[in-house]
Structure 1
Amino acid sequence: MITRRGFLRLVGGSAFAMVSLGAYAVGIEPMLLTHVKRYTLTPPHWPAGLKLRVVALADIHACRPWMTPERIASLAEEANALQPDLVVLLGDYTAGTKLVTGRVEVAEWAEALSGLKAPLGVLSILGNHDWWTDFFAQRAEAGPTQSRKALEHVGIPVLENDVVRLEKEGHGFWIAGLADQLALLPNKAKGRDSFQGFDDLDGTLAKVSGSEPIILLAHEPDIFTKVPWRVSLTLSGHTHGGQVRLFGYSPVVPSDYGNRFAYGHVVENDRNLIVSGGLGFSIIPVRFGVRPEILQIDLG
C-alpha cells in the first residue's frame, strides 16, 4: 500500500513533470532549430529526366516573440541553403494567436521573405489567417488582401486560382495555386453562417494546357478529396500537424477529415499529398512532437 509520503512524492513528481512538459511545449519546441523534412518521390505521369527540388515554407504566423522578422529572414537563408530549383510559400503569414508580446506588420515579414532565392523563382498562395486578420478584406468580402499586396511589393507572385508554367532543362510543368478555402469568416448580419472560400479548383486547372505535370498549392488539405489524378502532387499546410502529435496521432486537427490529412505524405488512389507541419502556430503557442519544419521535396 502506498504511504502518505509516497503519495505526496508521486503527486509532486507528476505535477513537476506536467509543468516541465508544458514549459517545453510552449517555450522550447516552438523555438527549436528548424527541422528540414525531406521527401523523395516520383509522382504519377512525371516526365522521365525531370529532377526538381521544391522547398516549401508554410504557416509562418509572424509575431513577437515567436516568429520575428529576424527569425523569418534566417528561415529564408536556411531555405536558400537547400539549393532549391523552386521555393513555394503555402500561406498564413500573419499571426494566428493573440498570445503575443508584439505584432509583426505585413511589410516586415514580407521584407524578411524577400531574401528567398531560387533559379525558377518564388511563388506563393494565401491562407485563412491572411484573410481573417484583414479587416478591410473581410468588410469588402474581396481582395486583394494586405498580405497579397505585401508579397507582390517584394516581388513574390501570389497565385489565387491561377497557374504559371515553368521549365527546367527542356521539361515543362505547371504550378497551380488555389485561393483560400476558408477566406471569409461567418457573418450572420450578412446571412453567412459558415466560412466562405474563394477557391475554384476546376477553373484553376482549366487554365492548364497540354499534358505537362501539375503541382497544386492549396493551403487547406481538405480539397485533396476533389483533386483529380491529373495533378501530380498537392502541397498544403494549415494543420500544423495538429501542433501536438504523439505516436503519429494528433488529438486536434483543423480539418473535416481529422488525422487523415493531418501531416506528412498521404497517398490515395495513386494521388500524392504532402502536408507540412509548418513553422508557427495558431490559437495557443504550443508545439509538442511537431517541430517547426521546412519541406525539401525532390521529384523525379
Structure 2
Amino acid sequence: MITRRTFFKLLAGTAAGILTLGGYAGAVEPLLRLEATPYRLTPPHWPKGQKLRIVALADFHACEPWMPADRIASICDYANTLGGDVIVLLGDYMSGMKLVTGVVPPAEWAKAISRLKAPYGVHAICGNHDWWQDKQAQELRLKETVAHRALRAEGITVHSNTAVKLGTDAHPFWIAGLEDQWAYLTGRYTQRGLDDLPGTMAQITDDAPVILLAHEPDIFPKVPERVSLTLSGHTHGGQVNLFGWTPVVPSRFGSRYVYGHKVEDGRNLIVSGGLGCSIAPVRFGSPPEILVIDLG
C-alpha cells in the first residue's frame, strides 16, 4: 500500500518531471540547440564523380522572442562555416504563432538571411506561412508575397515555379523551385496551391541532374524520376517527437514524410526538421537543424 507520504513524494516528483520537460521543450530545445545534420548519397541520375555540398535551411518563422533577427543572423553565420557549394532556403520565414511578443519585419529577417554566402549562390522558395501572413496577397490573390520581395531585395534568388542551371561546364546541375502548394486559404481547412511541377520541369533543357525545392513534401509522389533529389521543410519533424510518435504532422500523408531521407521507387526526398516553431513555441525530440547534404 502506498502511504500518504509516499503518494505526495510521487506527486511532487511527477510535477517536477513535468516542469523539467516543459522547460526543456519550451526553452532548451527550440532556443539553445542547433544541429548540422549530415547526409551523404549518390541519387539516380547523379553523374559519377560529380561532387556537390548543399546546405539547406528551412522554417525560420521569424518572431520575438523565439526567432529574432539576431538569432537568424547567428544561424546564418554558422551555416556559412559548413562549406556549402550552394545554399537553399525551403520557405516559411514568416511566423503565424499567437504566443509572441513582437513581429520581426520582413526587411529585418531578410537582411539577416542575406549574410548567407556560397559559390553557387543562395536559392529560396516561399512557404505556406509566407502566403498566409500576407493579407494583401490573400485578399487580392497576388502571385507573390512580401517575403518574395524582401528576399529578392537582398539579392537572394527566389524561385516560383522556375529553374536555373548552375555549376561548371564539366559538372552542371539544375535548381528547380516550386511555388507553395498551400498558398491560398480557401476555407478554414482548405487551401489552393500555386505550384506548377510540369511547367517547372519543362524549363530544364538538358540531362544535367536536377535538385527540386518544394516547401511541403506532399508533392513527392508526383515528382518524376528525372529529379535526382527533392528537398522539403514544413513538417518541423513533427515538432514534438515522442520516441517516434509525432502526434501532429501538417501533411495529408500523416507521418509518411514527417522527417529525414525517404526513398520511393528509386526517387529521393530529404525533409528538414527546420529551425523555428509553428502553432506553439515548443520542440521536443526534434531539435532545430541545418541540413548538410553531400552528393556524389
For the criterion TM > 0.5, the same-fold answer is: yes
Q: Which amino acid aligns with 2:279?
A: I
Determine if the alignment matches structure 1 residue 222 to structure 2 residue 232. Answer: no
Checking the alignment, whether the CA contact within 8 Å between 1:32 and 1:292 is kept in structure 2 is no
Q: How far apart are the structure 2 equivalents of 1:185 and 1:104?
A: 23
Determine if the alignment matches structure 1 residue 282 to structure 2 residue 278. Answer: yes
Checking the alignment, whether the CA contact within 8 Å between 1:39 and 1:297 is kept in structure 2 is yes
Q: How far apart are the structure 2 equivalents of 1:42 and 1:27?
A: 37
How far off its partner does 1:207 sit? 1.0
Q: How far apart are the structure 2 equivalents of 1:270 and 1:298?
A: 18
Which has the higher mean CA deviation after the structures are superposed, 138-147 or 282-291?
A: 138-147
Report Cα offsets for 1:163-213 as digits up to 9, x if no partner: 00012361111111000000011248xxxx720100011111111112111
Could you state the TM-score of these two structures normalised by the residue count of structure 1?
A: 0.96
Q: How far apart are the structure 1 equivalents of 2:239 and 2:190?
A: 24
How far off its partner does 1:229 sit? 1.1
**Residue aligning to 1:251:** 247
**Residue aligning to 2:117:** 117
How far off its partner does 1:247 sit? 2.4
> Superposition RMSD on alpha carbons, in Å?
1.2
Report Cα offsets for 1:206-239 as digits up to 9, x if no partner: 1111211110000000100111111100000000
Q: Which amino acid aligns with 1:181?
A: Q
Q: How far apart are the structure 1 equivalents of 2:166 and 2:121?
A: 9
SS of residue matched to 1:260: coil
169 and 81 in structure 1: CA distance in 2 versus 1, 3 angstrom threshold: farther
**Residue aligning to 1:152:** 152
SS of residue matched to 1:31: helix
Q: How far apart are the structure 2 equivalents of 1:218 and 1:272?
A: 13
Count of residues paired in the alignment? 296
How far off its partner does 1:11 sit? 1.6
Long gaps (5+) in structure 1: none
**Residue aligning to 2:93:** 93
SS of residue matched to 1:142: coil
Q: Which amino acid aligns with 1:149?
A: R
Q: How far apart are the structure 1 equivalents of 2:275 and 2:190?
A: 27
How far off its partner does 1:271 sit? 0.8
Q: Which amino acid aligns with 2:264?
A: E
Q: How far apart are the structure 1 equivalents of 2:221 and 2:11?
A: 47
How far off its partner does 1:249 sit? 2.9
Long gaps (5+) in structure 2: none
Checking the alignment, whether the CA contact within 8 Å between 1:32 and 1:291 is kept in structure 2 is no
Structure 1: which 4+ aligned runs deviate by more than 3 Å?
none
SS of residue matched to 2:158: coil
Identity %: 60
SS of residue matched to 2:255: helix
SS of residue matched to 1:232: strand
Could you state the TM-score of these two structures normalised by the residue count of structure 2?
A: 0.97
**Residue aligning to 2:66:** 66
Q: How far apart are the structure 2 equivalents of 1:213 and 1:135?
A: 37
**Residue aligning to 2:15:** 15
